[in-house]
Structure 1
């Protein structure tokens, strides 16, 4: 992976660069899964927070839980979730758009006054493709995508995951390096200049720079 590849991970569809990380401890809550899957998802949050050096907490003073992960069979089910329309602006048009495109996942973020992430909402429609994924693989991929504000197409052509010889699914080393570098305390919580990608690449050991 080269610096240009890192830049592409955070380049939006309109050509602008934007990388944001969490500005507060993460407090996840998961809806629509059995206890066994719940423990796998929470384990993925714990693993990636440990990797990045970020913290988790029992409660968020403003929101209670600040990461909400929803598993469901049909987008229309979201219309019946109490108060979700108060958390997600434009919920009905969003659902209609996702139904029309046949999407099986979507993420919505909210930001604090500095632009750092303060809340994330992950919606997963369990179609055949989604349901075929092992729980560990699905959890690691989805938690990674809520840890940073990646571009819409960051992992469209290649999964961020790899598989070890013993069959375990892990983050690709270069993606783990990007995540860890983005959470380095000397790095800004929000960056809009592409030069930020050069700093990420250097700290992740993806260039010859010191």
Structure 2
């Protein structure tokens, strides 16, 4: 697969309102997972670890400021969120958010928090296991979700095409997306950018970001 061109890279970080916004994690990822079996937790953490190896980023047991900074919640119904103890402290406006998610019949939602430099410092990922997601293999679901938590992608980034591909019946990260994720964590580049020219800097590294 050929590398993404600058226009395609830009589209992956250009939001529906037309604003370009790129951000990567600025601290080690310390994950915690709720609502699934220990076996599924291991699959999710394995996906995070694989992506950290890919990008050269780090994982940690705990975050000194937040304890856990990547919180993944699996649930059957959005009404479970307001019943989760203290979640309203982490997610202001939880009630109206749940109402919007129910109205949209959404099955996933992510909230990012950022440090003073604009880098990602926390991510809350909510996954409602509807009929569609319930049919997705655990390893496929885990990899897809962790890819989307690893960078601040556009809200429309993977609407038309998944970041994954099927190889011999198994889901793997698309080579062009893997290349882009490696480039995104190049330490020479800033952890956050709002200038669309950042897409050109990313694209220039594709094909050699090994």
Question: Shared topology, TM-score over 0.5?
Answer: yes
Query: 1:87-126 to 2 correspondence within 5 Å?
Result: 87-126=90-129
For 2:53, the equivalent position in structure 1 comes to: 50
Equivalences for residues 64-79 of structure 1 within 5 A: 64-79=67-82
Cα distance per residue 1:108-154 (max 9 Å; x no partner): 00011111000000000000001110011100000000000000010
Residue 127 in structure 1 maps to residue 130 in structure 2: yes
d(CA) in 1 for partners of 2:37 and 2:62? Answer: 22
Give the drift of 1:205: 2.3
Q: CA RMSD in A?
A: 0.9
The correspondence for 2:173, drawn from 168, 171, 174, is: 171
The corresponding residue for 1:183 is: 185
Q: Which residue of 2 aligns with 1:16?
A: 19
In structure 1, how many angstroms separate the alpha carbons of the residues matched to 2:207 and 2:197?
Answer: 16
Q: Distance in 2 between matches of 1:185 and 1:168?
A: 31
Q: How far apart are the structure 1 equivalents of 2:101 and 2:65?
A: 29
Give distance in 2, aligned partners of 1:59 and 1:117. Answer: 16
1:2 matched to which residue of 2? 5
List runs of 5+ in structure 1 lacking aligned partners: none
1:197 aligns with 2:186: no
- Count of equivalent residues: 205
* Structure 2 residue runs without a partner (length 5+): none
Give, in whole Å, the separation in 1 of the partners of 2:184 and 2:117: 16
What residue in structure 1 maps to residue 39 of structure 2?
A: 36
Distance of 1:198 and 1:174 partners within structure 2: 15
Query: What SS does the corresponding residue of 1:119 show, helix, strand or coil?
Result: strand
TM-score, length-scaled by structure 1:
0.96
Runs of 4+ residues over 3 Å off in structure 1: none
